[in-house]
Structure 1
Amino acid sequence: MRALSSRPRGRALLPAVLALLLTAVASGCAAEGEQRSGIVVTTNILGDITRNIVGDQAEVTVLMKPGADPHSFGISAQEAALLENAELVIHNGLGLEEGVHRNVEAADQAGVPTLAVGEAVDPIDYTEGETQGQADPHFWTDPVRVRQAVDLIAAQVSEQVDGVDTERIQANAEEYGGQIDELHEENTRAFAEIPEERRRLVTNHHVFGYLAQRYDFEVIGAVIPSGTTLASPSASDLESLSSAVEQAGVPAVFADSSQPDRLARVMAEEAGLDIEVIPLFSESLTAEGEGAATYVEMTRANTDAIVRGLTRE
């Protein structure tokens, strides 16, 4: 009797157990879906651009801190998890974020939509140095390409991020895009003040190729003949660049503000000329109040510095 009575109880419990299991599976799926949220951006330059487009429509997490070097910055395990659980990852691409490339790839393989902005705005190649022939990732020195990036980011946010008001995203993109168009016009007028024979750039590494192409500058060379700050120049590199600088007669060398300008000064001393070393905000935004807290502020500061450096007597 006892055995017979136990079997009906088991059969009676079976539907309840199945119901609990189905509820747990459904809850697990819901939790997994809820984990994918927000937009994660690798560099602070793209982060500022993205925040101007997104506004209050979604959470935007920027991995790169102000003043950091995009070639060398790395992220924590917690930040890597944010990448893999985002609704959209926006990164520069073209080899810029050397320290987080594998994390972006992992997010992509996990099914997270990723946008490599630099690859989508008609990239150019380096024309000299050890990276000659490779794609140049520093597209943001050309506001015209940044304007293209604004539309690309807006389209991806509207398509990939749930719950955003796409009309608001588009309106934000148009408003911010207008600021970028104005920035390009300002640059064109400002650079017109530089005599043609002085439109020659020497930097601490190859970073202004896009600016040179857009505004008709000649890049004489770079102290570090590479597209990354992680490389180092040889004695022969410095010697040949010093000779080129002497022949070109440039009055200034431009060094990234986030990197020591010691090498640029050594090069100037090698040339034996009166050459000013002028800092530019070429790779990273700064904290508030330090001269380049936004992309627009950074670009204006750089334009002013280049005009001042190349028109001085």
Structure 2
Amino acid sequence: MVAAMKRRSLAALPLLAAASAVLPGCAAFGSDRSGIVVTTNILGDLTRNVVGDQVEVTVLMAAGADPHSFGVSARQAASLEQAELLIHNGLGLEEGVIGHVEAAVAAGVPDLAVGEHVDPIDYSADATAGLPDPHFWTDPVRVGEAVDLIADRVIEQVSGIDAEQVRADAEAYRAQIDELHEHTTALFGRIPEEHRKLVTDHHVFGYLAQRYDFEIIGAVIPSGTTLASPSASDLKDLADAVAASGVPAVFADSAQPDLLVQAMAEETGVDIEVIPLFTESLTEPGQGAGTYLEMARSNAEAIAGGLAGH
């Protein structure tokens, strides 16, 4: 009797092993999925304004991090495949995380690549020309569209969500973004046409330039990523362009040293003001760009101040 029971127990082991191999996958990709994982802190802020406290939102990128170079821990990588929804920028922005994002999507995690759905544009200058520009958040109108996209996807994918509340929160937040756009339009309207020209440390304001009718003279780093670096000829070419255009100020990311911009300014032989902007990432609260709205308003006021008064 005992021997027979032992034989039946042993015979069941392969079935149990097979079941255990399947069940974790079902748990990870079935009913045990929970929460929303967002790659960048800018999209994280948008998402939290849409969902409120209805669902946990995990943001991978810490305040002040560079989205082009930030990486994730093993625990963060695992969280991507346990999410009910993965929200990322797309268009090549998250260079250090794209492999993990693709793996999660391949494993069946629902995702939203926000930048791909807000009428993206291509870079138009230097070595980046023709490549997709991921920096859509410099245009508040597109950010408003992103809010609606996020709300739609959350309602579609996240269980137990109050759809009416999500819609109401998204509408209220979008109204604030519309006000930001109106404020920005008014600020930039004070800039003389001959001064509506931008020089930055890298190509990041293409969407802003398109929306508010600026001419982009160039960038110190002739690329859309902070991972690139300029050559001596790059600096000389840009210095010549700046001198010819008469642009009174150049703009550098506040999180990056402005030594390259200073060097370029010195190369022109004219007095050029270097003004810091928040371009790639939010800051900690109280440091100037704790939210998207604060970031965009601060940048608009800095650009207007740098170009309108000259």
TM-score, structure 1 as length reference? 0.92
The Cα of 1:312 is off from its aligned counterpart by: 2.8
For structure 2, the 5+ residue unaligned runs are: none
Percent identical? 68
Q: How does 1:30-179 map to 2 (within 5 A)?
A: 31-32=27-28, 33-179=30-176
1: CA distance, partners of 2:255 / 2:25: 45
For structure 1, the 5+ residue unaligned runs are: none
Taking a change above 3 Å as real, the CA distance of residues 28 and 46 of structure 1, as seen in their structure-2 partners, is closer
- The answer for the alignment partner of 2:220 in structure 1 is 223
- The answer for the alignment partner of 2:267 in structure 1 is 270
Q: Which structure would you say has the larger Rg?
A: 1
Residue pair 1:53, 1:169 contacting (<8 A) in 2 also: yes
Q: 1:258 aligns with which of 255, 258, 283?
A: 255
Residue pair 2:199, 2:249 contacting (<8 A) in 1 also: yes
The count of residues paired between Structure 1 and Structure 2 equals: 303
Taking a change above 3 Å as real, the CA distance of residues 6 and 273 of structure 1, as seen in their structure-2 partners, is closer
Q: Which amino acid in 2 is paired with 1:157? A: V
The Cα of 1:145 is off from its aligned counterpart by: 0.4
Taking a change above 3 Å as real, the CA distance of residues 240 and 29 of structure 1, as seen in their structure-2 partners, is closer
Q: 2:279 aligns with which of 247, 271, 282?
A: 282
Residue pair 1:124, 1:210 contacting (<8 A) in 2 also: yes
Residue pair 2:221, 2:230 contacting (<8 A) in 1 also: yes
TM-score, structure 2 as length reference? 0.93
Residue pair 1:73, 1:99 contacting (<8 A) in 2 also: yes
Q: 1:189 aligns with which of 180, 186, 190?
A: 186
Q: Which amino acid in 2 is paired with 1:109? A: A
The Cα of 1:281 is off from its aligned counterpart by: 0.2
- The answer for the alignment partner of 2:289 in structure 1 is 292
Residue pair 1:251, 1:312 contacting (<8 A) in 2 also: no
Please list every run of at least 4 consecutive aligned residues from structure 1 whose deviation after the TM superposition is greater than 3 angstroms: 24-35
The Cα of 1:28 is off from its aligned counterpart by: 5.6
